[in-house]
Amino acid sequence: MTRKAIKREQFKVDHLTFELTDTTYKVIAGEAVHAKDRRPLFTGVITKGTATELRRLAHHFDEREDKL
């Protein structure tokens, strides 16, 4: 499959962009002005448990937002 044929979805979170395919994810600086700065800060493979780990992280964000 060519790079363009892979379905990619993007989700903005604050100043970051998360880009997901069926099996991988990237974290990109969402406010990068120049294309050269839009390279992923981090890439990873989606494995069993990735969603659970992200939900745990989201729970900590919920706790902090409640204090605002």
- Domain holding 26, by residue range, is 3-66
| Model confidence pLDDT, tens digit, residues 15-66 | 899 999 999 999 998 777 677 777 899 999 999 999 999 999 999 999 999 9
pLDDT of residue 32: 72
| Model confidence pLDDT, tens digit, residues 1-10 | 566 688 999 8
Q: For tokens 């069993």, what's the residue?
A: 48
pTM to 2 decimals? 0.78
Helix (H) or strand (E) run with residue 54 in it: helix 50-66
pLDDT of residue 4: 66
Structurally, the chain folds into a number of domains equal to 1
- List C-alpha distances in Å: 48 to 27, 41, 51, 52: 19, 22, 8, 8
